[in-house]
Amino acid sequence: MQNVKSIDGVSLPAALEVSGLGHHFGRRQVLSDISFSIAPGIFTVLLGLNGAGKTTLFSLISHLYDTRQGTIRVFGHDISRAPGEALRRLGIVFQARTLDLDLSVYQNLSYHASLHGIGHKLALERISSLLAQVDMRERLTDKARSLSGGQMRRIEIVRALLHRPPLLLLDEPTVGLDIQSRAEIVATIRALVARDGISVFWATHLIDEVEDGDNVVVLDKGRVLAQGGVSDVVRSAGSDNIRRAFASLTGFTPSSPEGAGL
């Protein structure tokens, strides 16, 4: 297991460690020998075109699918052997919208808090604090259906953070949002990493959501093609920026239909 050193010198397990992971749908193999690790307090981008296997990988990490080949550990806890310990350290924002549109923002959030055993008073305190951080406190009593796509996404992020997980997974969180909403969501998550030291695993097919200081895992057709810091991935691909490195690694170009997201 890969370890990192904390500020006080204590050795800590990786926030997420995936080793030898594979997955099939019937006879079709969608993930093959996936291995990588994420250090605590890092913004890591899972970069891959549509159909690369990003959502399948997230479904395995979040235990929606059983892991039958390979291992997944969240802060040292095996998702198959100790799913409760692993999952309580995860916050998850799925690609599809998952708010109950007929409930208010508060009702959506308080219900989720109760599932994690958070008492009413503490839940209200956390909901109020987190909504203020994403500039949504004034929408507390509004029905979810009255929110814009970007506002719904911010509420889903708040919901994922209510139980204070040290690792946050986000599967294509900006899909379908306008440019301003996309920028606001990315900025919100990056602020969490900088302010609270949370670990983030952000799946996207959009190159412009990657910054130079990020860690990157490049996934294509169910295989990891490269991983490491952006500069390391760019250098190993013999390119001068992450856009060209990604195109070189995957064989797609911005002008091709498959590479439209580049």
What are the beta bridge partners of residue 47?
204, 218
Q: How far apart are CA 15 and CA 44, in angstroms?
A: 11
Q: How far apart are CA 168 and CA 159, in angstroms?
A: 11
User: What is the rounded average pLDDT of the residues 125-144?
Assistant: 95
User: What is the rounded average pLDDT of the residues 156-184?
Assistant: 95
* pLDDT recorded at residue 68: 87
User: What is the rounded average pLDDT of the residues 139-157?
Assistant: 96
Q: How far apart are CA 216 and CA 201, in angstroms?
A: 9
Residue 22 has pLDDT above 80, yes or no: yes
Confidence of residue 9 (pLDDT cuts 50, 70, 90): low
* pLDDT recorded at residue 252: 75
Residue 256 has pLDDT above 80, yes or no: no
Confidence of residue 262 (pLDDT cuts 50, 70, 90): low
Domain ranges of the chain: 99-164
* pLDDT recorded at residue 8: 55
* pLDDT recorded at residue 67: 87
Residue 131 has pLDDT above 60, yes or no: yes
More confident residue, 234 or 97: 234
* pLDDT recorded at residue 257: 44
Q: Count the neighbouring beta carbons within 10 Å of the beta carbon of residue 129.
A: 12
Confidence of residue 10 (pLDDT cuts 50, 70, 90): low
DSSP of 65-92: S---EEEEEETTEETTT-HHHHHTTEEE
Confidence of residue 179 (pLDDT cuts 50, 70, 90): very high
User: What is the rounded average pLDDT of the residues 62-70?
Assistant: 92
Residue 247, classed as helix, strand or coil, is helix
Residue 82 has pLDDT above 60, yes or no: yes
Across the chain, what does the average pLDDT equal?
Answer: 91
Query: Phi then psi for 64, rounded to 5 degrees?
Result: -70, -35
* pLDDT recorded at residue 259: 45
Q: What is the pLDDT of residues 212-231, one digit of tens each?
A: 999 999 999 999 999 999 99
pTM confidence score? 0.91
Residue 94 has pLDDT above 70, yes or no: yes
* pLDDT recorded at residue 108: 97
